[in-house]
Structure 1
């Protein structure tokens, strides 16, 4: 017997350039999730209907959403680290009435670990006798990620009883799991590992069943050394999967879920990804319906069931987050705020300008959409903007028969005022508008007005709205206009000049232009006779898109509204880094086809400075790999380019292996192609069974071409 070894050694890499993924994010996954949080409700502890204060094993907490477009949103972080369990349950006041129709909607975020995720989260209905402290329990051991915080615990390889596994789960329950991790080991390696529930599945999935029912679990026998051992699979009902995108859950995006309970049919319908996380618009999504038997959840026939979310994480940090949009069956309502400049007859949006003395109108609109209870006993806690003096506050109702409600200004303290709405909102009176009218105070210099948060609370519903950030201009009303081209398209190396005019209500005042180019301030430019000229050298401009923001300012600090000039400089597409030579690992020939992994630190990066929206395709071609000895035998095989979904042979004819569209979030248009490869993806060497031992070398030629739009 002798060992046969194959060394796929030196590979010469040649590069040729024709003519436009993995994006690098500086923020952590949690920061990104909070910054993109969709609109949800505000969880007020003083009027709570759900709680994260459940058990000391739970890591759940409430965080503020950081998305300025969705103010007042609270995010429940069930897990935000590794090997955690978290739970959030409805309090008694927010329980689910099994004999009424309900709708619950929420946004879910399951991290960005993709196919490497190990945990996930679950929506749960339960009447466990432990109530708020309900969780999978088996001694003092940690809760395995496989349970998602609700299913039974499979850590005892001598345990053969499905009933015993079910007894460790949350009792009297039904769960809808969003399982981002694949727990599909089998045989001896599955014994006692709590990692086999998904044996019949193919990856991430959504499914449901009864955690405390023995029929949910399927015993698997392993005999070793004349002893019987056991592990368990789980029966999955109503599955939603995506075979083309196996990481469709833990993909770093928010997902909308809507659950509708039809009590007469005893049917619960769940719809996933049925709304766009950015626009909020409805989209098809995927839906399943499952019959849920109340007697399995409500053995004592109370007619009610506790609802909530549980989650677990595995060995990596997994952010399992929930944003609630409404509470089942109580009140469906929301608040909005519009600010109108009555003097200038226009709405006031974020970062707009107003003048000292302008009249503003703030309309806080409360809208009732339905529920089994009216939205009553509403306390409006108004936080008015600074440097604003109200002179009239009136509450009007959609029902014209209800007289307006006048609000006494003497109750205002430090721009804050609490007032209780006299009328409830219901199906006959669906809207109330709190209108605040007043005047912008006089200021000596341009003054920013920071957003303020007003809350609307009641025993059954809480929401919050933010006022926009705006600026008060003390004296002059400045009108800046650009008279040169906008947008501007320039060849590489070209200079340009931006010109414009400024009109002021105080013409004798000295005016200047404050230019900011690509977030960098430039020297100010004087305005002469109402005109200005700003020359820009080619060295100041970057390839691709440049953003020039101009503001006219007075000596007193008054500022005009910003004007943006877009300058596009023709860029280039090129390889920024390519390994001149690289290696594959040495490998032993087994007489069977095999894939050889890379050795060393392969480098392959592309820089596209032509601007956002440009696309390019990376192609690869390879010569036959030939032995380095005198005989020069040819390797039976070739390099392949492996992705999560396909293997692309690299043949003598150039073949497309990667396409990318340039995005502003990628610094300098740089895409590190090789940096995105894992050990089992990217360039591998496919060696077929007929290959002979030896050292082989060949050439891979990379090329860049424009991709079709």
Structure 2
């Protein structure tokens, strides 16, 4: 993207309010919470398995997914504002069995604090996965009337600041007989003469770890060995803080590691040495699945730590309560959890096996591995194997949602079970984007379902991405992905240029290159096919469709004036059909005799006035109307083939001129495409457009309505006063879409 111009617009904001009699707690980041719930991955329902913690501090609730693709999923919302603690625990019948191997997996969401400033500590505090026998559903740290965010709802409280305080004193205030895996989104690295007892030193550097960014780590919250004193002296003063020892650290490269407005998958596996031994281990793998595609992620991070069962289970019951805790201090954070596999409920796995028939051997197939190349007409088979490994329940209401690999054409599909039952699905449309199939209940007596498909490789050259299929039931969700591979078929389309000789052109004039695409072996017509151009190996030109009105396959590829650089230019053209099958690539040379000339300008035609928000505060969260005199117009006189983005950035929080305190609320821009962009210190795209070749003036503010434009969301705790701030508006050139 090339920035054509940057214009600053300074806009004042006025909030007139009256004395508030009542204040109700509201989420300070409602749009981030909305985003998290609207992008919820697939998980399971929770009410019969968990209950919210019963400590007086608890804010955790279970809420439904707002993602239309995952309507049955339920979400644990641990915190959604500053100064909160939340916990959710397994019900007694679903405690963690410490005598056997266990697997639990989940999706985690840590808000959007790090997405604004990857170089600075701006997120809330985080959450923790916890095993404990320290109070069951009532377990919580012993807060002294104030919540310390660094505890994450499980660690001890560092508030003593005494020469006589010990690590044991801190440990006594934590959840006892516990092990915690923390997801720490906010660094606590303060220990000086003024910070003793303020609970902000857990992440001080130790000999083994240099904790400079948000991280994942583990230890025993109720053990004094987990805490190390950090003392500071002066002639008349003494200050003591405590650092937390971090085991099995997985750290990010910046503050965008956890709190980045994205869901992150975690798989945790508990492995006892034996049912009698006190030793065990836990392996946790983070970001091991892609939240959009579900594909297993190669970039996942893994650590394994030893576990002393006698610390978690001193009475040797063989069980522990398990769940999640979270907390926030001065900064808010939406801490959300979605479970997709629960220990001791249903342990399941899904696998996929894609195989291709060996040429000339009708009874021999070999597996397709990542990176392999298949040829047109190869016979393939695809088997999905779903297994029930063990559990306290049967696996009910399973629906297979199959996303089959592209560039393959499947002809048959059947489902088989261990007792020999077989169902042939002759009427199933195997060309659908997602094939849905109900499966039998799986249990110890019927522990496997196999779905087999057969087909051939289509004549559709190109790469085939991994395809992830899911198996969703009441008690568990399993997923599996096919490998990435490539199809090399004979080109069903053949592209010809009328002339491939070097052409000398005047850069001030457009260039037209006639040619023909041979579609005699293709199922598609001219209107379905486009020509893709690449200039000088570094510039992707806009695709151009063939005209259905012309002779079948005929085209004239046009290069706009002032597109070429002076001298030699290399142009590559390829025909592409709706299956993303490619023709051969033709390369030709164009020699421009002159430098490209300016083709118009992009800029602000007007930027004046101000936005004015006013209203009477009610003690509840509300949206104040915009009485705007802002006049923002964009002029674009460039040739067709260009677009623009309008970006907005709030330079600093809206601030009270008298008290110098920031307004509790969010200034946001509701876009015409349905997004609510909270304006902060990062640029947000709020509008965009494209030029049609004529001189255009777009009046942005004239189109503001009740549905979109600038809005001010005021939180319940906002105080009366006059607040002001400024916005930087940036206009940027973008490629034509």
TM-score by length of 2: 0.48
